[in-house]
Structure 1
Amino acid sequence: MGNKEFEVIIIGGSYAGLSAALSLGRSLRKTLVIDAGKPCNRQTPHSHNFLTQDGSTPQELLERAKKQVSRYDRVKFYDGHAISGKRTSTGFEITTSKQAVFSAKKLVFATGIKDLIPNIKGFSECWGISVVHCPYCHGYEIRKKKTAILANGEKAFHLAPLVRNLTDDITVITAGKPDFSEGQMSRLHRNRIRILEKEIAEIKHVDGQLKTLVFKDGSQEGYDAAYAPIPFEQNTGIPQELGCNITEGGYIEVDPMYKTTQEGIFACGDGSSMFRSVATAVYGGNVTGALLNKELTEESF
């Protein structure tokens, strides 16, 4: 790539990043999107709850999005990993794994999060297919199915009423002593939600479709689907390297204008919001691009 100086560098070229690039491209901003091509939902069969695109595959959405953004000649793409960043007198420099160096006045992190898959045989193969994180993204497809919630305490109790709205056959698998208040336990029982304290050793499946949970005590139970609010980490350490605050929940801290705690750096998408869906990522990216353009316009006016 000949030109290595831009007004904005967007790190992360999935839904949030491409949406931000679209806003910036339409505002004639010289923009670079750096992306390694590994979105977190690449294993998910279909994307849902996104108006006009409900049921499309994640890959279809990305290909369509990139084709549309590519029509704007002020937006360029770099296929690779951003590995470090630093602040300069005029903005920022980003270095890639191939030692390419790009500069820009502003940065956008749309890098998302990395799910920390538990060490359970079969879990990763089912993740995003029949072991899922979100009732809004996946719940309709697994409605009225025998469903497990693989969590304890507040995470399990948060999911329980949402899942109860979709199916009557629910078991909360706590992998140890249940961590619920007396009131929470009463409500779970009232809604006929079973509590199982066993630990899972293996998930038996067929092509990612859950069939049986095998427990460490050797017992087994058949299930059709499971919800699992597993932990995560940021996909990149560059925001922290540049001084951006990370919240207690593990997200890049942003204000209502999608600004991080560092001047000139914005963030959008899953890495900065607990609302983890394609629709909210696209929205966040769209607004980020518009607000960033406004800031650039005011600085040069």
Structure 2
Amino acid sequence: MLYDCAIIGGGPAGLNAALVLGRARRSVALIDNNRPRNAVTHASHGFITRDGVTPAEFRRVAYEEVLRYPSVYHLQNEVISVAKNESEFEVSDSSGLRVQARKLILATGVKEIFPEIEGFYAFYGKSLFNCPYCDGWELRDQPLVLVSNSSAIYHTAKLLLNWSKDLLVCTNGQTFLSDEQKERLQAKGAVVMEQPVAAFVGHDGQLEYVSFTDGTQVPRAGGFVTPQFVQSGELGERLGCERTESGGLQTDGAGRTSIPGVYAAGDSSYFMPSQLIFAAADGSRTAASVNLDLTEEDFNEC
């Protein structure tokens, strides 16, 4: 069977793209390895009518809705390769199945690389997070910590002061903050510490204090650690898709990459903000572009 479109990735971008294409009566192969990046998260926020939904429940309802459309097929396997022929793509998965499709949407998302700090993963998704817009409300007015190895630390610190005035800003041994920036943060009540962080300490997922390599310990109830985002797969690179400066797949603003017939949706095409609602919206927009391009091709056939 030759599908109109193969979608690699079953997160919010891939699922919303499948929904739009299914409603457009397009045949879709939705290929997903069922390893969502946000599985560690207790609840997702910022999506109207879905605020506070668990990632598992979101996926359950989404698949239920998407698979109501008879032209959408769900293949739960790991994609290992994609080849482009003259007029179609061939996707091979870990089961040995080969799927042919006229168009390809890469919705594989990103993966996070966090600073190597002892104890971090015991608290991640419980009292330590990476997105203030996603989890800042739940930590409001508590003593918070921000640990960042990024040049965006000043911007993030300013944002976090909207949720809590009791903020400890940790550069983790880096020098991303200028003297002026440190002075301005301190004038707002934030405490800046530049020594490396040794460990996060607490019990049952609840952070209690931050320990530094010089022996200092500062009590904290929760906070944010900013990761580095990288592509979760190499399919776009293997196909020859151009990258943005931040490492995402370059698109024309409507999902089309530099390789004809290949589209990117969600976090694959931009790394920030990494939020459910942005990814779902981008999946919808990209699917509309795929349907438009298929329509033009079919209409202009001799």
TM over 0.5: yes
Query: How many residues end up aligned between the 2 structures?
Result: 298
Q: 1:59 aligns with which of 38, 52, 56?
A: 56
Aligned to 1:296: 294
Mapping for residues 41-190 of structure 1, pairs under 5 Å = 41-152=38-149, 154-176=151-173, 178-190=175-187
Structure 2 distance, partners of 1:34, 1:170, is 42
The residue type paired with residue 271 of structure 1 is: S
Q: 1:57-94: CA deviations, max 9, x gaps?
A: 11111100000001001000111111111111222111
Structure 1 distance, partners of 2:64, 2:78, is 21
After TM superposition, give the deviation of residue 248 of structure 1 in Å.
2.1
The residue type paired with residue 20 of structure 2 is: S
> Which is further off, 282-291 or 146-155?
146-155
Give the SS at the match of 1:150: strand
Aligned to 1:32: 29
Q: 1:184-226: CA deviations, max 9, x gaps?
A: 2232122121111222222223332222222223332221112
Q: 1:15 to 1:153 in 2, by over 3 A?
A: closer
| TM-score normalised by L of structure 2 | 0.94
Structure 1 distance, partners of 2:202, 2:277, is 29
- 1:258 maps to 2:255: yes
After TM superposition, give the deviation of residue 296 of structure 1 in Å.
0.4
Mapping for residues 241-252 of structure 1, pairs under 5 Å = 241-252=238-249
8 A contact 1:200–1:214 mirrored in 2: yes
| Uncovered stretches (5+) of structure 2, i.e. residues with no partner | none
> Which is further off, 260-269 or 149-158?
149-158
8 A contact 1:80–1:96 mirrored in 2: yes
Give the SS at the match of 2:199: strand
Q: 1:5-36: CA deviations, max 9, x gaps?
A: 21100000111100000000000101001101
Structure 1 distance, partners of 2:109, 2:46, is 19
After TM superposition, give the deviation of residue 119 of structure 1 in Å.
2.4
| TM-score normalised by L of structure 1 | 0.95
Q: 1:234-265: CA deviations, max 9, x gaps?
A: 11101000001122212111121111111111
Mapping for residues 175-214 of structure 1, pairs under 5 Å = 175-176=172-173, 178-214=175-211
Structure 2 distance, partners of 1:106, 1:165, is 44
Aligned to 1:286: 284
- 1:228 maps to 2:217: no
Q: 2:19 aligns with which of 13, 19, 22?
A: 22
The residue type paired with residue 35 of structure 2 is: K
How much identity, in percent, do the aligned residues show? 36
The residue type paired with residue 288 of structure 1 is: T
Give the SS at the match of 1:95: strand
8 A contact 2:153–2:177 mirrored in 1: no
8 A contact 1:152–1:172 mirrored in 2: no
8 A contact 1:8–1:104 mirrored in 2: yes
The residue type paired with residue 171 of structure 2 is: T
8 A contact 1:213–1:222 mirrored in 2: yes
Structure 1 distance, partners of 2:204, 2:293, is 48
8 A contact 1:245–1:260 mirrored in 2: yes
The residue type paired with residue 220 of structure 2 is: Y
Aligned CA RMSD, in angstroms, stands at: 1.5
Structure 2 distance, partners of 1:219, 1:190, is 22
